[in-house]
Structures are given as C-alpha cells and as structure tokens.
C-alpha cells in the first residue's frame, strides 16, 4: 500500500494523511460509553429510543457493531477497549472499570449484560466485573453459552456440548 501511494497516487496519500490527522485531532472517547466518537457524548448514548435500564459491556468497538447488526438489543453500551490480561499489563485501570462502576450508578441502569468474549481473558473480565458490581443492587447477566443456531450435536466440540448440557434451561 505504501509503495502504491508513493509511486502512483500522491493525491490519495495526501487525502489519507489529512484524514488520519483529522481523526487524531477530533476523535475521542464518549464520556458515557467509552466508544470512539467526535462528540462529547456519542449519538447512541444521546438517543431517546434506547432502553436506559440496560447496559451491555463489550470488549471492543467491533463487538458493539456486531451486537447492533444482530438487532437483538436496544439498551446502552459500555466499551472496555480491551480485556483483563495481567500478563500483558492490562489490569482493571486500563479497561476503565472505575468509569464503568460510575456509569452503572446513574440511577437508570437496572441490568448489566456482560457480553465479553468466551475466551479465557473475556471470561476472567466478566467474572471480575460481576464481583465488582455484585452488591450494587443491579441485575448482572451473562450472554448464553451453548450450541450455535443450526448446530448439530455431531459437529460441535465436546466442551461446548458439555456447557450446553450444564446450562440447559427449562422449557
């Protein structure tokens, strides 16, 4: 890409440089959800069409996009911009858990939906946040683990099948 821009597309390189410059100057973190935005509070957090009683915690902005594309959730978000990973030096401060704690105490939030990944770090992060918010009078939920939609027993890994059986639900 660098060779192409330098050899054949000086104008494009200039546009890219000024776009990056503009982004670096104008894009910041939303004061409420911590996602990237050009404003103090992002459009999603300002919306009156969303349920302020629900707060979904995701790791990255891409996860928020996935949630929105699934059209299954109409509440608010908090983006950690990472996950707990002590070996990489990422602790509770780096993923802004102090701000998350403050965010849940606005009197409107009733339920915190933990939607971190089902990786080791994601699970540890969910567990830590669960403990942190444990006695704050909030309902703490975790998105479900189990077989995917369209999934067949014969083709899932045994760890997932075991979880699906352990977390079976009454019909």
Comparison of 98 and 167: residue with beta carbon closer to its own copies: 167
Q: Of the two residues 31 and 51, which places its CB atom closer to its own copies in the complex? A: 51
8 alpha-carbon distance from chain centroid: 39
Which DSSP letter does residue 40 get?
Answer: S
Selected from 70, 86, 87, 135, the binder of its own copies by CB under 8 A is: 70
Question: Are the CB atoms for 78 and 138 separated by under 8 Å?
Answer: no
d(CA 148, CA 144): 10
Binding mask 72-91 for its own copies (x = CB under 8 A): xx------------------
- Which secondary structure element, helix H or strand E, spans residue 11, and what is its range? helix 10-26
Residues 139-158 close enough to bind its own copies by CB under 8 A: 139-154, 156-158
Contact present, 72 and 52 (Cβ < 8 Å): no
Instruction: Give the interface with its own copies as residue ranges (CB under 8 A).
Output: 58-60, 62-63, 66-67, 69-73, 113-115, 117-119, 122, 126, 130, 139-154, 156-171
């Amino acid at each position: 890409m660098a060779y192409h821009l330098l050899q054949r597309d000086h104008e494009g390189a200039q546009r890219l440089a000024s776009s990056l410059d503009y982004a670096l100057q104008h894009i910041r973190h939303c004061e409420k959800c911590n996602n990237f935005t050009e404003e103090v509070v992002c459009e999603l957090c300002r919306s009156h069409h969303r349920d302020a009683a629900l707060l979904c915690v995701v790791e990255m902005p891409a996860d928020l996009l996935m949630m929105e594309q699934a059209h299954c959730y109409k509440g608010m978000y908090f983006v950690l911009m990472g996950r707990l990973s002590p070996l990489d030096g990422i602790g509770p401060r780096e993923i802004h858990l102090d701000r998350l704690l403050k965010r849940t105490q606005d009197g409107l939030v009733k339920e915190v939906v933990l939607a971190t990944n089902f990786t080791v770090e994601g699970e540890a992060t969910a567990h830590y946040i669960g403990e942190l918010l444990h006695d704050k009078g909030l309902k703490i939920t975790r998105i479900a683990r189990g077989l995917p939609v369209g999934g067949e027993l014969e083709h899932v890994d045994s760890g997932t099948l075991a979880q699906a059986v352990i977390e079976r639900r009454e019909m």
